[in-house]
Structures are given as structure tokens and as C-alpha cells.
Structure 1
Amino acid sequence: MTANPQMEELSAIPSSDQVQPLETAEQPTAMATAAAEAVAIPVEEELKRAAEKMENNFSKIKTKIHRYPSIFRSLISTDDRYFVPRAVAIGPYHHGAPHLKEAEEVKRAAAYYFCGESGHSVEEVYQRILLVAAEARSCYVDDDTVASIGEGDFAAIMFHDGCFLLQYIICSTDDIAPSLESWFNSNDASMERDIFLLENQLPWVVLDALMTFRSVPVGEFISQESASFDAYTDLEKRSFVLDESYTPSHLPWPPSNSSAIELAEIGINLVANKKTWFNDMSISKGALFGKLFMAPLVMDDQNACWLINMMALEICSASTGMASTGMDGEDTVCSYVSLLAMLMSREEDVHELRVKRILHGDFSNQRTLVFFKNLVDLIPIPFQHSYLLDNLEAYRRKRWMWIPIHKFIYNNLKTIVTVFSIIGVLVGIFKTLMSIKQHQQ
């Protein structure tokens, strides 16, 4: 019998008891919604935790031990001498680096001496650190390096590094164990640099806890170290007060160029202040000339390192609120560096800054120019610097009639002096001839 195609098609259709109920449009929608809600709950929690973490980090921005901003990475990759410690790791970021292992044994010895000289047992001092270890840990960026360190190991780092750092500070004003002092002295050049690196710091809460057992002149030490920036050795001794008033910031503003020579051409003289306060920058307008006051700077390898790390700290600690006005001194170092960089367009400008006693030190003109130009490219123009630029523009607008005269005199000063000297000589000769003629008569 020949198969009937229609019968085959019918047989392929399942019977009523085989037919599964078709899902209505509402059913898949309901199922999808339920699944979406199930996924949304953990996703929302994850996003909430991320937001809370960010808020928590922002609330501690002033006390955070920051990593270098990403804009500094290109500079670090080409020259890391201003960023990587040479002798000792302070804190967890560089802990365990192979070239810094020698200092680890010295830290343990320093902790032993610190506890012994404080009159308290090692156990008592260490227990005090354990109480603040969690707070100290929250001061660091929670990256893979810090996350890989267990709670016990982290507390040990805080204990050893804190005692070590305080012993180094004590060494500058008091006697310590000769063996420890010998190590500090032999590594002093590297130590002075290492302890001021942005990523090589301890939270203040650790040092404060340790100083409950022994008083340490931290303020005096910082004052002595900051004297490295002084261009004049006959200054009154400055005191340094430890407080929480220094809060850096930065703001983007349009750049402007006015080199040292260009300012001289328009009648603005550079004047070095007698004290090295970076925020003491101002412009005064006289009857004929203007003056730009700024702090002098000794340029050497150590001060270059400190400048970079202070700038990095200001950028990392940038906050809202007063940052919008910039009048609280939050961008002091960035403003100072921006001003110096603006004054340098070529090596002749660097020489002019030396003549005006703004720049000192053993950096060559070329090295100084390259250093500041590379550095200023990494930062936005700070508010305080922009404020000075506004004053310069106001000076140009107000003195526009005098500027061509100033420029002519500046660029032809030698010729003018020579001409007047010749005139003076000719006048003298003329007077002599007239005197001789009168005597002959």
C-alpha cells in the first residue's frame, strides 16, 4: 500500500496528551524578570560596596599614603631615581624589595634599641602598635601589594619601620647605639632622600603611638631637613609646627608663557625673597618698574627628588571645596614649580634666574631647564600660578605704552652704556681742552 503523505504529516503531530501547554507571552516575561531580579540584587550590592569604598577613600584623602599618580608613570619608567628608595623601605609598598633587604636587619636592631631606651618592654610597645594596626592599614591604597600582606606581618612592618624611623630622627639630635649610628651615617645621603618619598611613608598614627613611650623631636628634624631648600645660610632658624593645616590642591587653568628675559624686557624685575617659603609669590607695581617676588631654590639631586614627591602628594590629595578657590595654599609646590617652569624657555632664562639669585645649586642650566619643563607637563596649571598670570596680564595692559621703551633699553643696554661712556669721555676731553685754552689766554 502506498503511504499517504497527509497521514504521515498527521502522525507526526503529537496527540492531545502529548502536546505541552504553550507558554504565554506573560510567562517568559515573568521568568526573565525573576531572573533579572536575582542577578540585580548581588550586582546592586557590589556597586554599593564600590561606592562606599570610594567614599571611604575620599574621606581619608588627607591622611592616605598615596601611590604615584598615573601621570607620573612615564617619568618613572624613564628615570626612577626620584621615586624608588635606595636604602630602606618604609611601609608596605616597597617592603621585600631585594636591594633593600640589608636594612631589614637594621630595623630589628633599631626596634630593640628604641624599646630599651624608652624604658618599656618590646611586648608592651608592640601591643600598642597592634591597637592601631587596622587604622594604619586603612591609610594605604588597597592594592595587590598591601592585600598580600597578612595582619600579623603588617603589624610587624609598622612596628619595625616606625622604631627605625624614629631612631633615625633621634640620631640627628641625640646619641644612639654606635653600631646603629654608624649605619645611619654611612647611608645618610640615601636615607634623607628615601624617607621623603611619597610611597615610602608611615601613617602618623603609628609614630604617634610609638612616641607615647619616648619623646622624639620630629618637628625639629623636619625643620633641619627643610633647610636644604634655603639659598641663604644667614637666615634665622625656623621652627616647624606639626599641625593639619597643610591641605594641597590643584586646578586646571589656561597656560601662559612669560620667560625671565621676557619679563625683564617689559620692566618686571625678578627679586629673590630672603626666606624659602614657596607660597610667598607676588607682584608689586612701582612707578616705572614692576617686581616679581619668589623664593630662591637650591637645585641639587635631593631637592629635585623632594620637589617631585611634594608635587605628587599635592596632586593625590587634591580635594573639593576650597580647591575651587585655591586660596588656602593647597597647590603651593605645584604653583611654585609652574612659575619657575614658565620663567624658563631656554638656557639663557636659567642663567638670568641665577643672576637674579633665584636659582642656586649644582644643576647645569640645561639640566635645570629639562627638569622643570618635563615636570610641569605632568600637572594642570594651579590656581595660585594662574592668579599671578592674571596680574602679569593686568600689568601688560596698564603699562602698554612703557613696554616698548623698557624692551628697547633692556635689549640695547650695553650699547646705551657704551654710548654714554663715550659721551662722558668726549665731554671730559672737551672740558680739558677748554681749560687748556683758558690757561693759554
Structure 2
Amino acid sequence: MEPEAAWLPWDSQALVHWSMEPGNLEMANWTMEPTVWAPGPSMESESTEVFVSCLQTSSVPPTSTGEKLMVDQSSAQQELELDFDNIVIKIHSDPIHMFEKAARDFKDGVDTMRMKIHRYPATIRSLGELYTIPTTVAIGPYHHGRDHLKPAEKVKHVAAYHCIRESGCSIQEIYDTVVSIANDARRLYDSNIVDGISDDDFLPMMFYDACFLVQYMLTCTTSTGGLPQMDPALRSFFDANDDNIYRDIMQLENQLPWRVVEAVMRFRPVPLTEFVASVRGCLQDRKIPDEKPFVLIDGNSYDPPPHLLGLLRYYIVGRSDAKLPSLPETEAISFSVSAMELAEIGITLTANETTTELIHMGVKKKKGHLFAELSLAPLSLDDTRASLLVNMAALELCTTPSFQDADDEASAVCSYLLLLGMMVDREEDVHELRRRRLLQGGGGHTNKAALEFLTSLQGLRLGSRYVRTMEEIESYKVRRWMSTKVHAFVYKNMKTIMTIVSSTAAVVGILGTLKSLKVIH
């Protein structure tokens, strides 16, 4: 009698155990034990077919214990090892379909890489919890449930209440709209985390977190619908915890898909232009005079942001429309140079006085000047801004596999941090950055704290603008080798030269005095 046919998944290598009685072949205690396929030169590619929909055996009985019985099937050839106690069927599946599935999954991951809510890469996680663990509020599932973040969960309910009341719509209408988006948002998170969260927990989490973010964004605006109409109790919470909340919602692992936030904003609009304008210059204390009015770019002109961090990073980095000239090839290039070395060859450090956007960095020669300058956007450094910079750099590392094959904007934060870190080895170097107004403000990080922060980031991947700046420095040294050598000699021997000049001036003065006395005599 033939055993009952059974479906086997194509990707299961299995040992199927059977028991039989003399004269009768019956299936008993069906079990499947995974085995591992290992590639080898003797793989029998013709012996099996991946899509095995059933097991069909012939009724040829064994003649003795341990006798092997070859069973010919319509779609594949299976090898059976039978004895009177057990029959073992070993299925050799063609592994190419497993590779095809892996390739499809990998491509799907690459296609959605820009929109995913990423986990921290090892280089960023090693910097410590100050930059990677929220202190006040959890947004999304990665840090949800931490004990120290639970008090903010009640505030989320309050924020949801005010979003609903101020929208004039029913809770069911708003919630259903969020759910229609949030159902697809699950795939943007790490499956190792969200697979263990039921929809009964995940979907309300998306709703409450989106309402919280919408109400917080309203605190950063003053136009119609912003602060003047906000509930005083809710506003007091946001005001009292403003720095911590801002730092938390700018962390890479503490993000909500932007489409989920937009779903709530359909009912409770936020003056988005005013909000972005209020925070995009957050890296500086001093504002640029006569800066052009901020205009939010039309959503049809660029890809939608993945989340709030991605949205603000886009405007903090900015865009560079100017086409950079090609540089002549050089025999060698150094990927690190100190501030002292720059000063020796006549390149001075300057703060960009026309913009706060990070993308505008590099070496250029000003009209009417003999030497060049390395210009960067200024920075007022404290814990909140340091965390923002780290998390924007982490986003670049996660979403751009190759910096050199992408636009300069894709790695601008990494380039900016590497250039600042390149210039400091001692606290005196940090003081020099302050003197050059690259580091602004008297508060925030001390020279020691700034030094520790900037030097801790030298493990970042080399951004394309960083590489370009190093090439510009090398090109400058090659093109102006004579003047740079003269400048370096003068720079290194300035004290000696000044002493000689002073001594010479004194001698000339004495000789002039003697000469005048002789004439008088």
C-alpha cells in the first residue's frame, strides 16, 4: 500500500522517518529534521526537483534489513534507506531557488533602504547611550517599553486627544487613516523587533506616536494653529522637556515613517515651512544676517523623506547646485592634515558667513588674497547638537552603501565631522577653531569635551566632500609649491625672523643716530 501523499516546502531539506510492518508500508510518526546543504563537486543536480508536491513510492518490498530501495517518481528520483524498523527518505533539493529567494530579499532591502527605520551601525553604537538611547520619549518600537520612558506614554494619549479634538473629525476616521498607512509601515522596521509585536500593540503605537510628534511640531510654530491654541498643560510638558524631546526624536532608532505622521497631519495640519525653518539652523547660536527667506521645496521636486530625522537632515545639509571643477591628478594624496600644517602652507580656516548649510565646504582662493582658505559652516557644540550630528551621520552610513558613487549631499555630515576632527589633536586646536569662529558660543561643550567628541568620530567612512577637500589641498600644494614652501619657512621661523628684523631695525637705528651725531659734530 502506498503512503499518503504529503506537501513538502521547496526549501526544506528533510529526513522523513517511516516505520513499516512486513508486507505493508504505512506512514507513522511523520517528522521532519532539517539538514544542511553544502556545495560540493559531486552535487547531483539531476537527481531531484525543488518543487516536490508529494511523495509517491512503489510497493516493492525490501528483501533484507538495510537493503536500499531506489524509488522512481514522476518529477524526481528519491533515495530510500529502509530497514524493518524504520525507513529513511533523504531529499536532495536543488538549492538555486534558495539563492534566488535570498537575491530577491536582498534587492527588496536595497530598494527600501532609504525609507527604512535603521538600527545603529557598530561605529555609532560604540559612541555610547548619550547618542543612541532616548531619555524622555520612545518613538516607534525599538525603545518602546523602557521603564524610564513610560511616563511619556500618558502624554501621548493627551496629544492624541488634542489632535482629535482640534481636527473636528471622529477618532475612528483618523485612526483608520493611520492604520491604512501603518499596516505597510511594519516592513520598514527590523523584523527581529516587530515580528514579536502584535497588530493590537503596533497599530495603536503608530497612532499615538504620530499624534505626539504632530503636537510637538506645533510647539515650534507660532502661526495659526500653533502655540496660541495649544493646551497649556501639554505645552508646559513640551517646554519643560524641550531639549530632551528634540534630542530623542532626532535619534536614528527613534523614528516613525513620515507617511504615518502625514496621515495625522491631514486632519491636524502643521505649518511645515515654519517648523522646518525654526529648526534647520539649530547647529548655530548666531543666525546668518540677511539670509534669504526659507522656502520649503515642493514635494514633487525631491524624494519624500523617510522620517523626521531625514526631513530635517535634508534642509540642514542643503543642496549644492554649483558644478565643481575637475582637479588635476596628483601622484599621491594625504587623507589627513592638521590645522598647523594648513597654516604652514598658507590655507587659513574660516567660518562660512553666508550660509549654515553643511554641504558648503572646501578650499578656495579669495579674490585679492595671495593664499587660500578652508571654509566650513560654523557650529555651536553642545550635547543636543552633538547627538543630532551623530545621528545624521548614522543615517548617511545606513542609507548610502558607497559615498563615492552618490551625490555629495549623501555624505555631507560625515565629511563635515571628519574635517572638523582632522583639525584637532589638542585642546589648543579647539581653541584655535573658536578663534577662527568655526566653533561658536561660550556655552555648550568645553574645549576638552569638544576635543573628545570630534576625535571619537574619526572611524566614520570617508565622505565624498571630505575626499574632495583633501584633493583640493593636495592640488593647491602642487600648483603653488614655491609659495607654499616660502610660507612654510616663514611660518616655522617666524620668531627667529622677527628677532632678526627687530635686531636689524635696532642696529639701523643706532647707525642712523651715530651718523647724525657725526654730521652735527
The equivalences for 1:23-102 within 5 A come to: 31-32=78-79, 38-40=91-93, 47-75=99-127, 79-102=128-151
Q: What CA distance in whole angstroms lies between the structure 2 residues aligned with 1:37 and 1:183?
A: 65
| Structure 2 partner of 1:155 | 203
Alpha carbons of structure 1 residues 21 and 198: separation in structure 2 relative to 1, 3 Å: closer
Q: Which of the numbers 256, 273, 277 marks the counterpart of 2:357?
A: 277
Residue 27 of structure 1 deviates from its aligned partner by: 7.5
Q: 1:22 to 1:101 in 2, by over 3 A?
A: closer
Instruction: Confirm whether residue 347 of structure 1 aligns to residue 427 of structure 2.
Output: yes
Residue type of the alignment partner of 1:398:
R
Partner of 2:335: 256
* Structure 1 position 380 matched with structure 2 position 432: no
Q: What is aligned with 1:7?
A: none
Cα distance in 2 for residues equivalent to 1:348 and 1:120: 59
Per the alignment, residue 409 of structure 1 pairs with 490
Matched letter for residue 429 of structure 2: D
Query: What residue number does 1:5 align with?
Result: none
How do residues 326-365 of structure 1 correspond to structure 2 at under 5 angstroms?
326-361=406-441, 362-365=444-447
Worse-superposed segment, 202-211 or 368-377: 368-377
CA distance in 1, matches of 2:335, 2:408: 23
Distance in structure 1 (CA, Å) of the matches to 2:498 and 2:101: 74
Aligned-pair distance for 1:101? 0.5
In structure 2, the residue corresponding to 1:341 is in which secondary structure? helix
- What residue number does 2:52 align with? none
Cross-structure match for 2:478: 397
**AA at the equivalent of 2:487:** H
Distance between the aligned counterparts of 1:36 and 1:384, measured in 2? 60
Q: Scaled by the length of structure 2, what TM-score is found?
A: 0.71
Question: What is the letter of the counterpart of residue 85 of structure 1?
Answer: P
Deviates more, 1:161-170 or 1:225-234: 225-234
Matched, 1:301 2:350: no
8 Å Cα contact 2:284-2:380 kept in structure 1? yes
Residue identity opposite 2:129 in structure 1:
D
Contact 2:400 2:406 in 1 (8 A): no
Q: Distance in 2 between the 1:302 and 1:129 partners?
A: 30
Report the 3-state secondary structure (helix = DSSP H, G, I; strand = E; otherwise coil) of the residue aligned with 2:191: coil
1:6 maps to none
Q: Deviation of residue 57 (structure 1)? A: 1.9
Aligned counterparts of 1:393 and 1:356: Cα–Cα separation in 2 = 22
Task: Tell me the amino acid that sits aligned with residue 409 of structure 1.
Answer: V
Q: Does 1:192 align with 2:235?
A: no
Q: Deviations over 1:59-93 (max 9, x none)?
A: 11111111111333322xxx311111111011111
Q: 1:148 is aligned with what amino acid?
A: G
Deviations 1:284-312 (A, max 9, x none): 24673122121111111111000100000
Q: Deviations over 1:392-436 (max 9, x none)?
A: 112222222223321222233345446545666776777788789
> C-alpha deviations, 1:351-390, integer Å up to 9, x for none?
222221112243233322221221121x221222111111
Q: Give deviations 1:40-67, integer Å, cap 9, x for gaps.
A: 26x6665544433322221111111111
Letter in 2 for 1:389: M
Distance change (3 Å), C-alpha of 1:97 and 1:294: same
* Structure 1: distance between partners of 2:288 and 2:296: 21
1:216 counterpart = 2:270: yes
- Please say if residues 352 and 376 of structure 2, whose CA atoms lie closer than 8 Å, have aligned partners that are also in contact: yes
Q: Distance in 1 between matches of 2:113 and 2:144?
A: 23
In the alignment, structure 2 segments of 5+ residues that lack a partner are 1-61, 82-87, 222-226, 304-313, 318-331
- Give 1:183's match in structure 2, choosing from 234, 237, 245: 237
Kindly report the root-mean-square deviation, in angstroms, between the aligned alpha carbons of the 2 structures.
3.3
Supply the AA of the counterpart residue of 2:93.
A
Contact persistence 1:111–1:164 (CA under 8 A): yes
SS at match of 1:331: helix
Name the residue aligned to 2:294. Answer: 239
Deviation at 1:234, TM superposition (A): 4.4
Once residues 157 and 132 of structure 1 are traced to their aligned partners in structure 2, the CA distance between those partners, rounded to angstroms, is 13
CA contact (8 A) 1:350 1:368 kept: yes
Q: Alpha-carbon deviations, 1:132-163, whole Å to 9, x = none?
A: 111221221212x2112111221101111101
Quick one: which amino acid aligns to residue 108 of structure 1?
A: H
Asked if structure 2 preserves the Cα contact closer than 8 Å seen for 1:67 and 1:141, the reply is yes
| 8 Å Cα contact 2:358/2:413 also seen in 1 | yes
Structure in which a larger fraction of residues adopt helix = 1
CA–CA distance in 1 between the matches of 2:473 and 2:510? 46
Q: Does 1:289 align with 2:371?
A: yes
Other structure's SS at 2:169 match: coil
> Contact 1:256/1:342 (CA < 8 Å) preserved in 2?
no
In 2, the alpha carbon distance for the partners of 1:422 and 1:51 equals 77
Q: Number of residues paired by the alignment?
A: 411
| Cα distance in structure 2, aligned partners of 1:435 and 1:230 | 60
Matched, 1:267 2:321: no
Structure 1 residues 215-258: Cα deviation after superposition (integer angstroms, max 9, x where no partner): 2023422332232212533432652625445599xxxx986221
- 1:314 equivalent among 396, 413, 423: 396
Match of 2:28 in 1: none
Q: 1:254 to 1:408 in 2, by over 3 A?
A: closer
